[in-house]
Amino acid sequence: MRIILIGQAAFASSALDKLRDKGEDVLAVFCPPDRVEGKFDPVKKRAEELDIPVYQHRSMKGPEVLEQFQALDADLAVLAFVTQIVPPPVFGAPKLGSICFHPSLLPKYRGGSAINWTLINGEKKTGISWFWVDEGIDTGPILIQKEVEIGPEDTTGTLYFNKLFPLGIEAAGEAIDLIHAGSPPRIVQDESQANYDPLCRDEHSGIDWSQPAQAVFDHIRGCDPQPGASTLWRGQKIRLYDCRLELSGGSATPGQVVALGDGTVSIALNGGTVVAKKLRGEPGKIAADELAGHIGLEVGSQLG
């Protein structure tokens, strides 16, 4: 098939390689403009290595984008990790339309922070979807889905890079096979099961130490690495990373530091303890006990 790839970062680069490995004719790559002069996005770098034309637009809504799509005369567009809005005339230009990757089992967890909210809400399983693009946000008919278990200590980072990323690339190849076979699935999403969450940003990062231990831990790992679960100490915001949960009783007030040392800080929870290996504050992201020394955090300090 004659394919246009739209995307960015390592996922789009790997998707490009998958399409090429399957013998597809990738006509062009569309990715956002370079953020830093001389520092190329991985998919741009890979496309140039393969002598594939690269188009970079600040917006996919301009008339020149549609003109380029129409001139390419593609059979299909593949959206692999896309943060720009692709308007209907553009995603509808290829003969077969466009397919898009999403890191959840749609219709659950639509939106740009699907992995964060999946973990924050304590889900035990998730997956990936390749779906046919329509005018809604992650609302198009499903082409293929794959399910995966969520580990008890998975973070947004580990879940994406270790599980959803490779699963999504594997499924991209299967999606292309389904399209080649003719009459590929177009399973309408069940709107009664749908939910949409906002981008997980700093305003969502604050830790509520009064919540049960598991809920606090789910919040922390859902915000790791971005935006970083946060709490206050002497008016300064600090963020917790690389944490583990110990479920045990204790008399300390939730949010109180109960141990320091060996590179970690242990904080009491309602029904357990969270042990953080890294904290981020004014000196940057460093070993938790090292940052504690910088900011005067000690056993008995009350966070929040």
pLDDT of 284 = 87
Q: Are residues 73 and 170 both part of a single domain?
A: yes
pLDDT tens profile 123-146: 999 999 999 999 999 999 999 999
pLDDT of 248 = 83
On whether residue 304 sits in a domain, the answer given is no
Q: Are residues 185 and 223 both part of a single domain?
A: no
Q: Are residues 170 and 259 both part of a single domain?
A: no
pLDDT tens profile 223-254: 999 999 999 999 999 999 999 999 987 789 99
pLDDT of 251 = 85
* Measured distance CA(263)–CA(249) in Å, rounded: 23
Percent of the chain exceeding pLDDT 70 equals 100
Q: Are residues 161 and 88 both part of a single domain?
A: yes
Last residue of a domain, one of 154, 171, 193: 193
pLDDT of 13 = 98
pLDDT of 134 = 98
On whether residue 300 sits in a domain, the answer given is no
On whether residue 87 sits in a domain, the answer given is yes
Half-sphere exposure (Cβ direction) of 32: Cα atoms closer than 13 Å: 16
Q: Which residues of 122-151 are buried (b: 16+ CB within 10 A; e: fewer)?
A: ebeebbbbbbbbbeeebbbbbbbbbebebe
In this predicted structure, the answer to whether residue 192 has a pLDDT above a threshold of 90 is: yes
What domain range includes position 57? 2-193
Strand partners, 269: 272
Single pTM value for the model: 0.96
Find the CATH number of the domain harbouring 212: 3.10.25.10
Strand partners, 274: 245, 267
Structure tokens at 67: 């003109």
Run of H or E residues at 293:
helix 288-295
Q: Are residues 186 and 208 both part of a single domain?
A: no
pLDDT tens profile 151-191: 999 999 999 999 999 999 999 999 999 999 999 999 999 99
